[in-house]
Amino acid sequence: MITTIFATKSSTKTSIAVSTAIYLKNKGVDVLLCDLDSQKSAVIWMEYRDADEKLISVPTVEKSGSTVYSSLKELSLKYDHLICDCGGKNDASGRYALLVSDLVIIPVFPSNISLMTLNQSLRSVEEAKVQNENLQAIIILTGVNSNPRIKDTDEAREAIADLIKDYDDISLAKSFITTRKVWSDISCTGQGITETLNDKASSQFIELMNEVIL
């Protein structure tokens, strides 16, 4: 199984990718985290993790460019699940990853700017499906305001639903990720969100995993 997190830099994609890999590892899944992003944020995150002996190690590799396709195919024979963190839009490594992925997760903020970049990501998915017809895509709302009076989330859901209405293999997750400080804190502790003491953030992410991954 190859799952690629495909989005812009501002959508907490690395936090989701890392937390997904760690969640699966803690459940006993033979998982490999693949950092395909030129900034190597996931690799740096894992360096913090490796410095803490209390945290279980998650194998991580760096890949980029035209070798991504063949590398991921080969690695998928050695691991049960690959979690790939890559940039969206014009990122070449990400486009190669889509050609071999089973599932692409597209995190998006409930904002007009983020929704505009979503359209670009969806085009990339459709282009990949020409060669990878089994590719499935799911959109996740992240950075959601915890105040129920804020209507941005409802408006974003309506806009996304309209945007994907003609796509057969692209859906919007019912689960979402609420903005919480803990999401920024864990990048320097090496933890996944489900390893923190923030029960609300952890429970919310587990609900997301049960819907999207498991």
Question: Do residues 72 and 132 touch, judged by C-beta distance below 8 A?
Answer: no
| Token output for 9 | 């830099």
Question: Do residues 192 and 12 touch, judged by C-beta distance below 8 A?
Answer: no
Question: Do residues 75 and 26 touch, judged by C-beta distance below 8 A?
Answer: no
Question: Do residues 82 and 68 touch, judged by C-beta distance below 8 A?
Answer: no
129-145 as b/e: b if 16+ CB within 10 A: beeeeebbbbbbbbbbe
Domains and CATH numbers, the chain: 2-212 (3.40.50.300)
Place of tokens 């599932």: 103
Q: pLDDT tens digits for 68-90? A: 999 999 999 999 999 999 876 56
Residue 12 — pLDDT band, cuts 50, 70, 90?
Answer: confident
Residue 9 reports pLDDT greater than 80? no
Average pLDDT over residues 8-28: 88
Of the segments 65-69, 100-104, 126-130, 155-159, which one has the largest average pLDDT value?
100-104
| Beta strands across the sheet bearing 136-144 | 60-62, 31-35, 81-87, 2-7, 103-108, 136-144, 170-178
In DSSP notation, 92-130 reads: HHHHHHHTT-SEEEEEE-SSHHHHHHHHHHHHHHHHHHT
**Interstrand relation of 81-87 and 31-35 (parallel, antiparallel or unpaired):** parallel
Residue 10 reports pLDDT greater than 70? no
Predicted pLDDT of residue 8: 65
Q: Which has more confidence, 214 or 100? A: 100
**Interstrand relation of 31-35 and 136-144 (parallel, antiparallel or unpaired):** unpaired
Residues 6+ apart with CB under 8 A from 175: 140, 204, 207, 208, 211, 212
Q: pLDDT tens digits for 141-195? A: 988 877 666 666 788 888 898 889 888 889 999 999 998 999 989 989 999 999 9
Place of tokens 């991954």: 213
Q: What is the pTM of this model?
A: 0.92
Q: pLDDT tens digits for 24-38? A: 999 999 999 999 988
